[in-house]
Chains A and B, each alone.
Chain A
Amino acid sequence: MIAPYSTAIPESNLLSRWEVRHKLIGLMALIFSFSFIRELRLLPLVILVSVVIYSLSQLSFAYYWSRIRLPGLFLLMLALILPFSAGNTVLASFGPLALKLEGTLSVLLIAVKFLCIFAIVLVLFAGTPLQKIVGALRSLGLPALLAEMLIFTNRYIYQLITDLRQTQVATGLRGFKGRSVKALKPLAYIVGTLLVRSHNQSERVFQAMTLRGYGEESLVLKAEQVQIFDRLALAAALLLATGFVFLQLNFFPAS
């Protein structure tokens, strides 16, 4: 089941109160700086920063776990393949398979960066309503057409999921099981019907919106007032991000 976009961090939390534009820039800079790390000795610092930010958000570990299961599969796949296929230094042998040092270290680097970036991404989105994120992106230069598409798409996803579920129940009640490749044709027709219904609905939506004044001016989203805390938090995040890049470039240039 898909959970609607929602904010899991309480509104009173420090990170929820951080002005969205500043939060986006700060946390994105931090995410990219994590991505920049190639030196294993910097990983404890990356973990520390991520744990502190995640703890500040008051999000639970259960929330983190519930969200990471699906994307974690990709990491699991890498962890199963890379240690046995990359490098020359053999750590242990299991029949024809040889566990190699270089591959294992690569997986460690990727896994820590992935898990830490994941935590920051959760903090970013779980603490900010979508309208505010789109507003912030718009003020940072996102084209109006894309911003409006984000808002409208979010509005219709849940309704279409409900429509699809109803169609699946209806076809199921008529005896459609869909357990073999033969189901391809009826499923294609279900998708075709979904597209036709969406298209028809969009005509009505556009007419209704035009009557309410849509099209006269671009979607305007209210800008938030910037406090001293927002600037300080942004400065701290940028300092951390720059620090990681500086450490990587100056102390471990060869890695």
Chain B
Amino acid sequence: MHIPDGILPVSVALSGYAAAGGLTWLSLNRIKKKFKNPRELIPRASLLTAAFFVAALIHIPVPPTSVHLILSGLMGVILGWFAFPAILVGLFFQAVMFQHGGLTTMGINACLMGIPALLAGALFRTRRYFGVNNKVTNGLLAFLGSFLALVSGALAAALLLIYTITAQLDVAAERAAIITLAGAHLPVALLEGVFTALVVLFLLRVKPELLEMEEK
């Protein structure tokens, strides 16, 4: 889901920056409206951003290989409106430290991960209609949000790559590429969904305040 530099046309990369700029503005605006002193939350949001960055380094064994998780859904669940700035910060460090992703594509990558994260967060917050302590709905909403965040992000990335890399791709190859990319991400999305649900249920038991950052 990290599209590197040089792959996308510059018009797409710039549109990505414009969209990411708009979403960052919206997120910061909502944060300022929601919290009396948003700067109070910066150390917490930063520490959690660092924690997500580190957690994404954990590899889940899927014999004969292993996959690393993206955790954008979990970020949406825990950080709420802070998820988008946190993803931008995470992408910046990934580009700087591992050269993973790119600078010209940072806006697009932020949208591919950030929009599903915000939606996963919004979906999780519907738990207030079912009872915030209900284990089944907490687990289910966390699973669904995270699963859909990864599938939609991967699908959007696949479509973007296929329709912008070259105009020479024939219809059959396009269809095959979309099915292959989506199919390859499906097991990871399932794993990520289960993983997020497990983390949310753990937090519900140990530190429920962490799930209420946006609900206060």
List chain A positions with a Cβ less than 8 A from chain B: 2-3, 5, 28, 31-32, 34-36, 38, 67-68, 70-71, 74-75, 78, 81-82, 85-88, 100, 102-103, 106, 110-118, 121-122, 124-125, 130, 143, 145-146, 148-157, 159-161, 163-164, 178-181, 183-185, 187-192, 194-196, 198-199, 201-203, 205-206, 209, 214-215, 218
Determine whether B183 belongs to the interface, using a CB cutoff of 8 Å to chain A: no
Task: Give the 10 A-B residue pairs with the shortest CB-CB distance, closest first.
Answer: A152-B46, A113-B6, A188-B198, A114-B6, A192-B202, A156-B50, A202-B44, A117-B5, A85-B173, A86-B168
| Chain B neighbourhood of A117, CB < 8 A | 5-6, 102-104
A26 to chain B, nearest CB (A): 13
Q: How large is the interface on B (under 10, 10 to 19, 20 to 34, 35 or more residues)?
A: 35 or more
Given A145-B31, A148-B46, do A199 and B61 touch, yes or no (CB 8 Å)? no
Closest-by-CB residue of A relative to B200 is A192
Determine whether B40 belongs to the interface, using a CB cutoff of 8 Å to chain A: yes
Please state if A71 and B4 are interface contacts (CB–CB under 8 Å): yes
Please state if B42 and A86 are interface contacts (CB–CB under 8 Å): no
Please state if B78 and A68 are interface contacts (CB–CB under 8 Å): no
Question: Within the assembled complex, what's the spacing in Å between the Cα atoms of A120 and B78?
Answer: 36
A23 to chain B, nearest CB (A): 13
| Chain A neighbourhood of B90, CB < 8 A | 153
Question: Within the assembled complex, what's the spacing in Å between the Cα atoms of A100 and B207?
Answer: 57
Within 8 A of A (CB), among B1-42: 2, 4-10, 13-14, 24, 28, 31, 37-40, 42
| Chain A neighbourhood of B85, CB < 8 A | 145-146, 149
B114 to chain A, nearest CB (A): 13
Which secondary structure characterizes the binding site on chain B? helix
A and B contact pairs by CB, cutoff 8 A, 13 listed: A35-B10, A36-B10, A70-B98, A71-B100, A115-B6, A151-B46, A153-B46, A160-B53, A191-B55, A195-B51, A199-B207, A199-B210, A202-B48
Task: List 19 extra interface pairs beyond A35-B10, A179-B61, A187-B58, CB under 8 A.
Answer: A34-B6, A35-B13, A71-B100, A86-B170, A88-B168, A102-B166, A121-B95, A157-B93, A160-B50, A163-B54, A164-B54, A164-B55, A195-B55, A196-B206, A199-B44, A199-B48, A202-B44, A202-B48, A205-B47
Question: Within the assembled complex, what's the spacing in Å between the Cα atoms of A189 and B195?
Answer: 9
Given A164-B57, A188-B202, A215-B40, do A153 and B49 touch, yes or no (CB 8 Å)? yes
Within 8 A of A (CB), among B45-69: 45-51, 53-55, 57-58, 60-63
Please state if A194 and B51 are interface contacts (CB–CB under 8 Å): yes
Determine whether B150 belongs to the interface, using a CB cutoff of 8 Å to chain A: no
Given A206-B43, A215-B40, do A103 and B166 touch, yes or no (CB 8 Å)? yes
Closest-by-CB residue of A relative to B31 is A145
Q: Which of B49, B96, B99, B166 contacts A149 (CB 8 A)?
A: B49
Q: Which of B47, B168, B176 contacts A201 (CB 8 A)?
A: B47
Question: Within the assembled complex, what's the spacing in Å between the Cα atoms of A188 and B201?
Answer: 10
Given A32-B13, A194-B51, do A121 and B103 touch, yes or no (CB 8 Å)? yes
Closest-by-CB residue of B relative to A143 is B28
Q: Which of A106, A159, A195, A214 contacts B210 (CB 8 A)?
A: A195
Determine whether B160 belongs to the interface, using a CB cutoff of 8 Å to chain A: no
Determine whether B194 belongs to the interface, using a CB cutoff of 8 Å to chain A: yes
Determine whether B86 belongs to the interface, using a CB cutoff of 8 Å to chain A: yes
Determine whether B179 belongs to the interface, using a CB cutoff of 8 Å to chain A: no
